[in-house]
Amino acid sequence: MAEREIYPLTFDPVFKDYPWGGRNLGNKLGRLIPDGIVAESWEIAAHPNGSSTVNNGPLAGLTLAQVQAQMGLALLGENNQDALARGKFPLLIKLLDANRWLSVQVHPGDEYALAHENEWGKTEMWVVLHAEAGAEIIFGFKPGVTCEHFAQAIADHSVERWLQKLPVAAGDVVFVPSGMVHALGPGIIVAEVQQNSDVTYRIYDWGRPRPIHVQQALDVLDFTQIMPTVLAPTYLVKDAMLSVEQIGVCPYFETERIALPAGGSFFGFCDGSTFEIWAVLNGAATVDWAGGALTLTGVSWALLPAALGEYQVTAAEQSVLLRVVTPEG
């Protein structure tokens, strides 16, 4: 791999026009989006249902899947040997614009998904970027639920009686493990970090004429998820020049939310163990490495290859960023 081909990658996203979407990725976030309904923007994606394309540097024009095939461990890092063997990028990064309720749904874990779908399972995390007053999500069950009670509720179209609705606001973090019943509600925009999977089992879809997946859902729902709440961040660093919150730790990804004042910097090192995904959620920041510099503004993303080496992220103005890595398996 030529040294000039190891640099932070940015991508043209893939857009999805699911019926619950709208125009707020453009209207609220200032993103350039196509005409019509835009429900999801797959920002960093290498999946059969959508693969983002590099738009900067020597690798421009290649899909992420093609970059992985070309770079191998230099891109993914030692922590992702299984993903490399499968020829599949580990994570999928999205923006979601919910203008109507998403389906009430659940995602399977790895064992069930690999056995039934030839896909990984799907654990995900939302960072709420925008929420209208009174916005809610469906997240977990109310007390007293059982599999039998819920199966009957599905049959008689009364599932809402068992579902917890949870208010959310901008800045909230929601961790959604496989097995968790959930749905985004209207007026919410989130950044989503998830396993690279597109397996969703719909339980209830508000009368929309789309398939539902009752038996699969009942197979994988976790009925111990009673009245869960939003994630409480843990501060790793907190001072005037750098704030680092740990906001999501699981076997598939670890995420930090970083706040920098104008002129503040974060120093990092891609040592070959994992790639890093950086987002500027608001503000503007520059990523400097041995081969050059890349400026990002909110909301935008970059993929730092595992072999990049030392880098520095410096804020041009007060900024909030995400840093996502994959843990050692």
Catalytic positions, please?
A: 202
Q: Are 236 and 116 in contact (CB under 8 A)?
A: no
Q: Give the DSSP H or E segment for 263.
A: none
- Round to whole Å and give the CA distance between 99 and 4: 42
Q: Per residue, what are the HEC states of 166-229?
A: EECCCCCEEEECCCCCEEECCCEEEEEEEECCCCCEEEECCCCCCCCCHHHHHHHCCCCCECCC
- Round to whole Å and give the CA distance between 229 and 82: 32
How many CB atoms are closer than 10 A to CB 116? Answer: 13
Q: What is the tally of helices (H) and strands (E) in the chain?
A: 7, 25
First to last CA, the chain: 25
- What six digits make up the tokens of 322? 């995400």
Alpha helices in 52-109 (DSSP H): 64-71, 73-76, 81-86
Closest to 57 (Cα-Cα) out of 67, 43, 46:
67
Q: Are 134 and 175 in contact (CB under 8 A)?
A: no
